[in-house]
Each structure stands twice: as C-alpha cells, then as structure tokens.
Amino acid sequence: MGLPAAITVLVCCYALGCILPSYYAVKWKTGRDIRETGSGNAGATNAGRILGRTAYVILSLLDIFKGWVACAGAAAFGLEGWWLVAAGLAVVAGHLWPAQLGFRGGKGLSVSWGAILALSPLTALCMWVIFALAWLMMRSLTLAAVQAYFSAPLLALVWRVGVPVTCLCFALALIIALTHRRNIRNALQRRRAQPAAESFPA
C-alpha cells in the first residue's frame, strides 16, 4: 500500500473514533449534552448513569467494536507493523478528541481494548484474567482496569505478537492511566480511608 492510501486509512480510523455512541444516545434520548452532566465524560459509563445499565453495556460494546473495526479493517486494507500501531492510536485519538465535538470525548477504555483485541486476541482475553484477579485483591474497578492495561505489554511479549503491537499496548496503557488519573487518585484515597468496592470508573 502506498503512502497516500495508508494515510487515508489512518484518517478513516480517526473519523471512526470520532463517532461517540454515548454522546449521540444521550442526545437522542434526553436532548442533553452528556459532557454537561455527571462526570462530564462522553463515554459509556457516564451514559450508563443517565440511561441505565443496559445502555452502558450496549454502548461499551459499540466502543469496543469500533476499536476492533479500525484495526482489523486497517489490516484488511494491507497495513502492517507500525502502520497498525498508528491505526490503533488514530481510532483512540478520535474517541478522546472528536473534531466535531470540540475535541472533548471519552476516556478510551473500551475502544483501546477493542484495538488490542483486533491485533492480539490472546493478550486482550488475558487482560480480563488480570482484571479479575486485581479486582479480587483491590476491590477497585478503576485500579483493576489500569492494572490490566499495564499488564498488556507483558502479555504481548509472552504471546510474541511483535514489537509494534507490544509498543501499542504500552502506549494505550499510558493513555488509560492519563485519562483516568483523577479516578485513580480518588480510588487510592478511598482505599486509604475505607477499603470498599467502588462503582465503574468514569
């Protein structure tokens, strides 16, 4: 694939990421801007607080699906190696900074996992094992999710998926830590004050 075609695919990945199901579902159902309610995040968790748990599950699956479609589609169009890394980062960037919504989007948890699922299914599935174990030990969904993402590069090494995908996993772990830094800080404060199970991360 030539450079112009590769860049076109990346632009399409970013555009796909810009489609935020949670924003449009809340707008359609309530007429409100999801970013002006709850946590102010345009992701599935905040939408779930407004529309209910079923909506949370459906919207999370849609975010996962668009992450998977972007990377699987890029691979189907002939991108490989570091170009696939760029595709994964492009779809996540679109979710975080959607151009049509003033560059205020979600936090990237589900779409990032969808990208990893497309490029290394075994890594993605093992992340759920790490998540479950971490939650049992820490009783914090936020900290368990972050732990699962930081395990992803190590899991990628175990499954020998190659340097580019391993680097993508590391980059996504950093992104998740940055976008959830407030949640992480709050979770750690709650653990110090009173260890208890917490709600889904925003």
* pLDDT tens by residue, 68-82: 999 999 999 999 999
Residue 201 — pLDDT band, cuts 50, 70, 90?
low
Residue 192 — pLDDT band, cuts 50, 70, 90?
confident
Alpha helices in 77-162 (DSSP H): 82-96, 109-119, 121-138, 141-158
Residue 59 — pLDDT band, cuts 50, 70, 90?
very high
pTM: 0.92
**Residue 194: what pLDDT?**
67
Query: Given a cut of 90, is residue 133 above it in pLDDT?
Result: yes
**Residue 198: what pLDDT?**
46
> What is the rounded distance in angstroms from the CA atom of residue 33 to the CA atom of residue 201?
19
